Structure 1
Amino acid sequence: MSDTKIRNMEEFAAVSGISRPTISKYFHDPDSVRPSTRERIERALETYDYRPNIFAMNQNRKLTKNVGIVVPYLADPFFAEIARQLEQRCIEAGFRPTLFSAHGQQDLENDILDSLRSLKPAGVLLAPLGRASDRKTVESFCADVPTVLFDSNIEGVGEAFVGSDNFSFVSQTVEYLTRTGDPPCFFEMMTPANPNANKRRLAYLEMMERLGLEPHVIKIEGEGWAFEEIGRQGALRILDAGGFPTNIVLCSNDRLAIGLLSACYERGFRVGRGEGCALRVASHDDHPFSRFTCPSLTTAAHDYDAVANCAIGTLNDLIEAGGRFQKRTETLFAARLVLRASA
């Protein structure tokens, strides 16, 4: 027996000198290859002690075209939009997608992963809860099922991650706001549900340091996914206590900003760039409703098309590779600054 550790079908094909399609054909039906080829494969299996993942053996696209899509909170319009685009691209690629929502609950996310494992899909596109996820459960699932993570990255988990570059979001908004007015303060939840919020806060601090400006991070109480109400209540408390430390507020995400705009309206604070405005407000994500707020919200937009296309393409490549890549990949897409009336 060789000491060489074989991790996937591609590596086994390389060391055995037999083409990957022939090996795949053997695993689906040993009698479908010539007897001499079958002997070579079985000798190599014994030499390298290789046993393929169950999905590499049984879940060839000829047998199943089912794909799972899992999001943390479907009621969030961002996830509704990205899920819509992923579903459409799955269908265009010849897959049959099934959509699941964890509704912000760890137990439900675990149950969904268990159900998907039993369904034996060709692959899964997973946006995990993040800090609220059970890492061991997610790791175990990804070890069994070909999985591409999107939106929320868990380092080292899954075969690939596709998402947005959070530094790109914040660097553009901070640069624009400081160039056109006073330095912004950063408005966020004390215990954010999505780990992208932590990356955005760190990006804000880094940008303020680069610019030689004093940062102001405003943390508000609240847990869960009711971001608009959390933002509204937090902003009301701040306004009633004397207001923000600067007249420009950069929110961690658009849903918090929508709550802040509501609080400003209730307290009679006019938001925008025009004469008589007390505050400028900007944010991140380009929430589908952000252009309909009053005033419309300046924000940094996700590239929905690029993320969806790359996620589906990566999953397709993963399935074709037998469910494993030689090396985990990460692909990040830059944001696009969207200037509107709020800032």
Structure 2
Amino acid sequence: MSDGKIRNMEEFAAASGLSRPTVSKFFHDPASVRPPTRVRIEGALEKDDYRPNIFAMNQNRKLTKNLGIVVPCLADPFFAEIARDLEQRCIAAGYRPALYGAHDDPALENDILDSLRALKPAGVLLAPLGRVSNLRAIEKFCADVPTVLFDSMVDVAGLTFVGSDNPQFATLIVNYLCRTGEPPCLFEMKTPSNPNACKRRLGYLQAIERLGQTPHVIRVKGEGWNFEEIGRHGGARALAEGRVRTDTVLCSNDRLAIGFLTACYEAGLRVGHGDGCALRVAGQDDHPLSRHACPPLTTVAQDCEAISRLAVETLFRGIASDASAGQATLFEGRLVMRDSA
């Protein structure tokens, strides 16, 4: 740009102080941007004497049928299951999805976003790591590529999100446990990877206090996504130290609960709601393995089918309009009663 001539849309967007997606939206449909933005772009066009290459614009819009699907951990059966459902929906719609796992590594998550840029995807379905994610990188990526977040919402305004109503999960299971026995304590990680855990803690505290009971939270050490081991070792210490002061334990997620069940077994404590049982244990998520735990785990099920369906539909609408809705849609959980509580 040394000669002062605007050569492409990126340079025009930079010169006019607007984002490239906003400028692109204007050229495809001037009515799709706000009136003040439209006036600003029209003024910049007169000033800079820039005219876009319409052929190149159309080629770029139709460049690929590639889609990206990014999850925190492909080894987790929950994410493997929802990723498979998303993948099948995208394939059925004629797209070519590429599946990525971030392995609880924020640097890898950033690298995946960079790789997707090179792939020139039509859009991306992203379940971010959450607490350790680079929020600036996610915000910048979502400004450039039609993206729908699912499972875990990060603290960036204006992003489109489809997921579960986590406070409602905790309220639902707390009400059930209090109806059928002692009020539960909450068993969670001190530094959870997924921000959903914080929303569930808030739901637990509000539900317990609403019922006139005293909340009790057991927080254990642990990092990353190895929840079963964290639940097992943290649970064993909590039991040995007498920190479990009620006969009912609500775990922040099912994988922690499965680890806690192992700790109970190793401590010689029978779990369930029948005669001879020392503890009731419940989880949240309805993880694919929770029904095969011993005993089978009482939990709150996510509506994975609805989340997957709406995430894909929302992404396709965003691709078609070259814009995203910037709204959050939350689905309530469903109580699943099994033998553990």
Q: TM-score range by the shorter chain?
A: 0.7 to 0.9
Please name the residue that 1:341 is paired with.
339
Identity score, percent: 60
Please name the residue that 2:130 is paired with.
130
SS in 2 for 1:98: strand
Please name the residue that 1:164 is paired with.
164
2:146 aligned partner, one-letter code: P
Check the 8 A contact 1:146/1:158 in 2, yes or no.
no
Are 1:94 and 2:101 an aligned pair?
no
Deviation at 1:208, TM superposition (A): 1.0
RMSD: 2.7
Are 1:176 and 2:179 an aligned pair?
no
- Structure-2-length-normalised TM-score: 0.85
How many equivalent pairs are there? 313
Note the residue ranges of structure 2 that are not aligned, 5 or more in a row. Answer: 1-15, 33-40
SS in 1 for 2:193: coil
Please name the residue that 1:245 is paired with.
245
Stretches of 4+ aligned residues off by more than 3 angstroms? 5-17, 42-45, 47-52, 54-59, 155-159
Taking the aligned partners of 2:204 and 2:282, their CA distance within structure 1 comes to 13
1:179 and 1:248, CA in 2 relative to 1: closer, same or farther beyond 3 A?
Answer: same
1:107 and 1:58, CA in 2 relative to 1: closer, same or farther beyond 3 A?
Answer: farther
Check the 8 A contact 1:45/1:51 in 2, yes or no.
no
Deviation at 1:13, TM superposition (A): 6.3
Taking the aligned partners of 2:85 and 2:76, their CA distance within structure 1 comes to 15
Note the residue ranges of structure 1 that are not aligned, 5 or more in a row. Answer: 18-41
Taking the aligned partners of 1:85 and 1:51, their CA distance within structure 2 comes to 43
SS in 2 for 1:192: coil
Please name the residue that 1:46 is paired with.
45
- Residues 223-302 of structure 1: pairs in structure 2 closer than 5 A: 223-242=223-242, 244-302=244-302
Deviation at 1:57, TM superposition (A): 5.5
Taking the aligned partners of 1:48 and 1:222, their CA distance within structure 2 comes to 58
Deviation at 1:156, TM superposition (A): 3.2
Please name the residue that 1:85 is paired with.
85
Check the 8 A contact 1:170/1:200 in 2, yes or no.
yes
Taking the aligned partners of 1:314 and 1:307, their CA distance within structure 2 comes to 10
Check the 8 A contact 2:164/2:330 in 1, yes or no.
yes
1:102 and 1:13, CA in 2 relative to 1: closer, same or farther beyond 3 A?
Answer: closer
Deviation at 1:166, TM superposition (A): 0.3
Check the 8 A contact 2:72/2:103 in 1, yes or no.
yes
- Structure-1-length-normalised TM-score: 0.85
Check the 8 A contact 2:45/2:51 in 1, yes or no.
no
Please name the residue that 1:328 is paired with.
326
Check the 8 A contact 1:228/1:258 in 2, yes or no.
yes
1:100 aligned partner, one-letter code: Y
1:215 and 1:316, CA in 2 relative to 1: closer, same or farther beyond 3 A?
Answer: same
Taking the aligned partners of 2:230 and 2:242, their CA distance within structure 1 comes to 19
Please name the residue that 2:307 is paired with.
307
